[in-house]
Amino acid sequence: MADPTAPLLDVRNLTKIYPRRKGLFGKGEAFVALDGISFTVGRGEVLGIVGESGSGKSTAGRIAMDILTRSFGQVLFDGVDPLTMDRVQRRGFRRRAQMIFQDPYASLNPRMTVEQLLRTPLALHGLTGTPAEDRRKLVAALDLVGLPATLLNRYPHEFSGGQRQRINIARALMLDPALVVADEAVSALDVSVQAQVVNLFMDLREQLGIAIVFIAHDLPVVGIISDRIAVMYRGRIVELGETVAMFTRPRHPYTAMLLNAAPAPDSSAASLLAVQPVAEDAGMAGGCAFRPRCTFAMPACAVEKPPVRTLQGGHMTACLRDDLVIDGPLAGQSCC
């Protein structure tokens, strides 16, 4: 068993490169989807990952779950890399690390009842017990996600989007996971349903001690649920730190822009104007990738990729400018 004080998930220098060819036989430059990212998730911790589409946030989640291959880097789950695991360890990893996807409609087999859907993971992992034991587990999992046991014989089409997402979560819980990676798991839901499912994730962490990687693009939602947040831009983590600290004083101009752009009912209309257009020049070599959209860019930003600086409290930022003081939406409201 691994060191209980060590992080549950430790991702180091993860890189994903897609070779890209021009034409059928031509050569082309490679597309770097992940550019050496590192982060950890502690036991029972919630780490949020935010970023625009194409930032690499889903890629990071999928590689951490070992359902997508990596080009370089290490993924350590309880100190062991899935790539070096033997069959038994691998089976344990597949059981203890579960993933929940965005689309609750596409991720449930329409021809299986809720009972069959929830029993399948038990059967796949050879964990089937007596019928009475299994039934207790099923009912317990449904109860955790707030669904009554009377629904066991129903089919997915009989449920709303929010209920289906609860079934997905219940199915992940059947295997008693230590880590759940939720990729845009509440994005497709109506506001009031989204609030219910966000609360459910908070319950899972508190009642079962499950660690969660919560990947989403909605900053207020990520902020509510996450202890720490990693902000990704073009395949890199540009800022990583505790939620309240980040929302009070973002250290990277990109984080500040995202916070400005995410409309919360309590944010003002004026904040819309501060957002810079998306640069289309993706192939820009060298320097900070955010530079063309950054109001604080200086000549040095074009020269080298900004190294990661570690600040007080383990807060990390990949911005050359150490002189910036940017107010986030929580500035003046929190202690720190």
> Where on the chain is the footprint of other proteins (CB under 8 A)?
52-53, 160-163, 190-196, 198-199, 202, 206, 217-221, 223-224, 243-244, 247, 257-258, 260-269, 271-273, 275-278, 280, 329-330, 333-334
Q: Pick the closer one to other proteins by CB: 261 or 324.
A: 261
CB 70, CB 14: distance < 8 Å? yes
Q: Pick the closer one to other proteins by CB: 198 or 213.
A: 198
CB 163, CB 147: distance < 8 Å? yes
In whole angstroms, the minimum distance from the beta carbon of 260 to other proteins comes to 8
In whole angstroms, the minimum distance from the beta carbon of 224 to other proteins comes to 5
In whole angstroms, the minimum distance from the beta carbon of 250 to other proteins comes to 12
Q: Pick the closer one to other proteins by CB: 3 or 280.
A: 280
* Nearest 10 degrees: Cα torsion 287, 288, 293, 297: -80
Q: Pick the closer one to other proteins by CB: 98 or 194.
A: 194
In whole angstroms, the minimum distance from the beta carbon of 237 to other proteins comes to 18
CB 77, CB 9: distance < 8 Å? yes
Three-state DSSP state, 114: helix
In whole angstroms, the minimum distance from the beta carbon of 257 to other proteins comes to 6
Q: Measured between alpha carbons, how far is 159 from 112 in angstroms, rounded to an integer? A: 13
Q: Measured between alpha carbons, how far is 147 from 75 in angstroms, rounded to an integer? A: 35
Cβ-proximal residues to 227 (8 Å cutoff; 6+ apart), any chain: 45, 46, 47, 242, 243
- H helix runs in 226-266, sequence order: 243-248, 253-261
In whole angstroms, the minimum distance from the beta carbon of 332 to other proteins comes to 11
CB 32, CB 15: distance < 8 Å? yes
CB 233, CB 193: distance < 8 Å? no
